[in-house]
A and B are shown apart, each in its own frame.
Chain A
Amino acid sequence: MSLLRDLALGARFALAGGREGWTRTLLTAVGVGLGVALLLGTTALPGALNARNARDNARNDYGASVDGGPAADTLLIGRVDTQFQGSDVRGRLVQPEGPEAPLPPGVSALPAPGTMAASPALRDLLASSEGELLRERLPYKVVSTIADKGLMGPHELAYYAGSDLLKQRKEVVNDRAEVLRVKAFVNPAPQQKIDPVLALLIVIIFVVLLMPVGVFIAAAVRFGGDRRDRRLAALRLAGADRRMTRWMAAGEALAGAVVGVVVGALFFVIGRQYVGDISIAGLNVFPADLDPSPLLAVGVALAVPASAVAVTLFAMRSVVVEPLGVVRTSVPRRRRMWWRVLPPLAGLALLTPLMGRGRDRGTFNQVQVIGGTVLLLIGVTALLPWLVEAVVRRLGGGPVGWQLAVRRLQLTSGSAARMVNGIAVAVAGAIALQMLFGAVEGDYVKSSGEDTSRAQLFVPLGDSTPDQQVRDLGALKSVSGVTGAAVLGSLEAGEKAKEPQHFIPVTVGTCADLGQAAALPSCKDGDTFIATGGAWEPELATPPGSTIYLDPATGGSATRGTAVRWTVPPTTRKAASRPDPMGQRRPGLMVTPGALPRGAKLPIHSTAFVSTAPGDKLAKERVLNAAAKADPLTSARSLSDLQTSARFAGVRKGLYIGAAAVLMLIGASLLVSMLEQLRERKKLLSALVAFGTRRTTLSWSVLWQTAVPVALGLALAAVVGLALGSVLLRMVGRSVTIDWVPAVSMVGIGAGVVLIVTALSLPPLWRLMRPEGLRTE
Chain B
Amino acid sequence: MTPAGSLLVAQDLHKSYGPTPALDGAGFSIHPGEVVAVMGPSGSGKSTLLHCLAGIVTPDSGTIRYDGRELSAMSDAERSALRRTEFGFVFQFGQLVPELTCVENVALPLRLTGVKRKEAERRSLEWMERLEVADLGHKRPGEVSGGQGQRVAVARSLVTQPRVVFADEPTGALDSLNGERVMQLLTEAARSTNAAVVLVTHEARVAAYSDREIVVRDGKSRDMMLEHSV
Residues of chain A having any CB pair with chain B under 8 Å? 328-331, 397, 399-400, 403-404, 407-408, 410-412, 683-684, 687-694, 697, 771-772, 774-775, 777
* B89 interface contact, C-beta 8 A: yes
Partner of B112, one of A412, A693, A771: A693
Separation of A772 and B22 alpha carbons in the complex (Å):
13
Residue contacts A-B, CB under 8 angstroms, 25 given? A330-B140, A330-B142, A403-B100, A404-B97, A408-B99, A411-B98, A411-B140, A683-B95, A684-B97, A687-B89, A690-B54, A690-B56, A690-B91, A691-B83, A691-B88, A691-B108, A691-B157, A693-B80, A694-B80, A771-B56, A772-B57, A774-B56, A774-B91, A775-B17, A775-B51
Docked-complex contact A777 and B83, CB < 8 angstroms: no
Docked-complex contact A400 and B108, CB < 8 angstroms: yes
Contacts of A775 in B (CB 8 A): 17, 47-48, 51
Contacts of B108 in A (CB 8 A): 400, 691, 693
Additional 20 contacts, C-beta under 8 A, given A407-B97, A690-B56: A328-B142, A329-B140, A397-B117, A400-B111, A403-B111, A404-B99, A407-B104, A411-B98, A683-B95, A684-B98, A691-B88, A691-B89, A691-B108, A691-B112, A692-B84, A692-B85, A693-B84, A693-B108, A693-B112, A775-B17
Contacts of A329 in B (CB 8 A): 98, 140, 142
Partner of A777, one of B47, B81, B85, B109: B47
Q: Please name the residue on chain B nearest to A683 by beta carbon.
A: B95
Separation of A473 and B198 alpha carbons in the complex (Å):
96
Given contacts A687-B91, A691-B88, are A407 and B83 in contact (CB under 8 A)? no
Partner of A688, one of B81, B97, B98: B97
* B194 interface contact, C-beta 8 A: no
Q: Please name the residue on chain A nearest to B80 by beta carbon.
A: A692
Contacts of B213 in A (CB 8 A): none
Docked-complex contact A328 and B99, CB < 8 angstroms: no
Contacts of B142 in A (CB 8 A): 328-330
Partner of B100, one of A330, A407, A687, A693: A407
Q: Give residues 139-179 of B contacting A (CB, 8 Å).
A: 140, 142-143, 156-157, 168-169
Given contacts A328-B143, A404-B100, A690-B56, are A777 and B84 in contact (CB under 8 A)? no
* B127 interface contact, C-beta 8 A: no
Contacts of A411 in B (CB 8 A): 98-99, 140
Contacts of B112 in A (CB 8 A): 400, 691-694, 697
Distance between A229 CB and nearest chain B CB, rounded to angstroms: 13
Contacts of A684 in B (CB 8 A): 95, 97-98
Distance between B215 CB and nearest chain A CB, rounded to angstroms: 20
Contact indicator per residue, chain B 62-100, by CB within 8 Å of chain A (1) or not (0)? 000000000000000000111111011101100101111
Q: Please name the residue on chain B nearest to A399 by beta carbon.
A: B111
Contacts of A399 in B (CB 8 A): 111
Q: Please name the residue on chain B nearest to A693 by beta carbon.
A: B112
Docked-complex contact B57 and A771, CB < 8 angstroms: yes
Distance between B145 CB and nearest chain A CB, rounded to angstroms: 10
Q: Please name the residue on chain A nearest to B169 by beta carbon.
A: A777
Contacts of A400 in B (CB 8 A): 108, 111-112
Separation of A693 and B169 alpha carbons in the complex (Å):
22
Docked-complex contact A403 and B104, CB < 8 angstroms: yes
Separation of A412 and B140 alpha carbons in the complex (Å):
13
Q: Please name the residue on chain A nearest to B48 by beta carbon.
A: A775
Q: Please name the residue on chain A nearest to B47 by beta carbon.
A: A777
Q: Please name the residue on chain A nearest to B117 by beta carbon.
A: A397
Separation of A738 and B31 alpha carbons in the complex (Å):
73
Docked-complex contact B89 and A771, CB < 8 angstroms: no
Q: Please name the residue on chain B nearest to A687 by beta carbon.
A: B95
* Most interface-central of A399, A691, A774, A777 (chain B CB within 10 A): A691
Contacts of A407 in B (CB 8 A): 97, 99-101, 104
Q: Please name the residue on chain B nearest to A705 by beta carbon.
A: B99
> Which 5 residue pairs are nearest across A and B when measured between Cβ atoms?
A692-B84, A687-B95, A692-B83, A329-B142, A407-B99
Separation of A600 and B182 alpha carbons in the complex (Å):
118
Given contacts A404-B100, A683-B95, A771-B56, are A692 and B82 in contact (CB under 8 A)? yes
Separation of A428 and B143 alpha carbons in the complex (Å):
39
Separation of A705 and B137 alpha carbons in the complex (Å):
24
Contacts of A689 in B (CB 8 A): 56, 80
Contacts of A687 in B (CB 8 A): 89, 91, 95
Separation of A410 and B140 alpha carbons in the complex (Å):
12
Q: Give residues 113-134 of B contacting A (CB, 8 Å).
A: 117
Separation of A273 and B99 alpha carbons in the complex (Å):
47
Contacts of A408 in B (CB 8 A): 99
Distance between B167 CB and nearest chain A CB, rounded to angstroms: 11
Separation of A693 and B109 alpha carbons in the complex (Å):
8
Contact indicator per residue, chain B 181-194, by CB within 8 Å of chain A (1) or not (0)? 00000000000000
Contacts of A690 in B (CB 8 A): 54, 56, 83, 89, 91
Q: Please name the residue on chain B nearest to A771 by beta carbon.
A: B56
Docked-complex contact B99 and A691, CB < 8 angstroms: no
